[in-house]
Amino acid sequence: MKSWPWLRIGLLAGLLVAIGVAVTFRDRIDPVALEAWIAGFGITAPLVFVAVYALASVLFLPGMIMTLAGGALFGPVWGTLINLIGATLGATAAFLVARYLGADWVSRRLGGRLKELVNGVEAEGWRFVAFVRLVPLFPYNLLNYALGLTRIRLLAYALATFVFMAPGAFAYTYVGHAGRQAIAGGEAAIQTGLIALALLAAVAFLPRLVKRLRVPAEWLTVQELARELAGHSPPVVVDVRSVEEFTGELGHVDGALNLPLDQLANRLHELPKDRPLALVCHTDRRSRTAAKLLHAHGFRDIHIVRRGMTAWRAAERSRHDQD
């Protein structure tokens, strides 16, 4: 019998025990004592803090305590950077642990609607990571492990985590800094506290803003579009390029309806609302704009063809070369 499965089982068991112990005793964590302990390391305190933050992320300990402590210890600017490094390293570690221990097992057993959901997350890639970091739909610690079970690229995951957690990290780091200023007293404490409240208000409004900016459509690869067009209920392909592009070098998908983006609002009556729509353009920029317009007018089953006709023609050339 191979040793690898047993190694993974052993690592999983050890991880679950460590998480169980950490969660059991997390209510006993004293933020003041934690700050004093880390501050005692002197010049190496930032490195110790980053390591502790990363470990806390892996063990499902509350990141809020760490973020507030980072602000109190290192100030709003350096504290934000140090908090982001610790949170990103912890998120990446949990991501890699989940990928090593369970990604293969999960991919073999996924099916039905759940498989479609995971495929959609993977197609979105860093965009999905960016969205859930700005709009925390799931707990931070659980999300790190869940995304490790997908095929999202590691570099894209880590970069999106670092960049798109920054607004929230800065706000809560500043709250930690404001708490330290309040303890010290003085007029500066009042000003710092008001800034902290303003930042928290901005972060609370951010999810609503992001949801409004998010494209209300699903993504389709050109391979998926080809399969759906060959099926029993094919989508209506809506090409939103100009007439010249539609008949130009890249051509168009057979049977596509040409509704240029600048004419789309006046020609909505030509589109059925009871069939899925697949939007295509040169890449996918105009398709995203078209998707927002269609959604605002009551269309719901909308799909955007990723990389548009550029990818469609590239896939055709690839199939031709193989033949």
pLDDT per residue rounded down to tens, the chain (323 residues): 344 677 778 888 888 898 898 888 888 888 888 888 999 999 999 999 999 999 999 999 888 889 888 988 998 899 999 999 999 999 999 999 999 887 777 767 666 556 666 766 777 778 788 888 877 667 888 889 989 888 889 999 999 999 988 888 888 888 877 776 666 554 454 455 555 555 555 555 555 555 555 556 678 888 888 888 888 889 999 999 999 999 988 899 999 999 999 999 999 999 988 888 999 999 888 998 898 888 888 888 888 998 899 999 888 887 766 65
Cα distance between residue 259 and residue 267, in whole Å: 7
* Predicted structure pTM score: 0.65
Q: Where are the domains of the chain?
A: 3-183+201-210, 218-322
218-322 domain in CATH 3.40.250.10?
A: yes
258 forms bridges with which residues in the sheet? 239
| 307 tagged catalytic | no
Catalytic residue, from 68, 217, 237, 281: name it.
281
pLDDT computed for residue 170 by the predictor = 86
pLDDT computed for residue 204 by the predictor = 59
Residues in the chain: 323
Contact (Cβ atoms closer than 8 angstroms) between residue 63 and residue 160: no
For the four alpha carbons of 171, 143, 162 and 60, in that order, the dihedral sign comes to positive
Contact (Cβ atoms closer than 8 angstroms) between residue 80 and residue 172: no
pLDDT computed for residue 190 by the predictor = 46
Cα distance between residue 137 and residue 143, in whole Å: 9
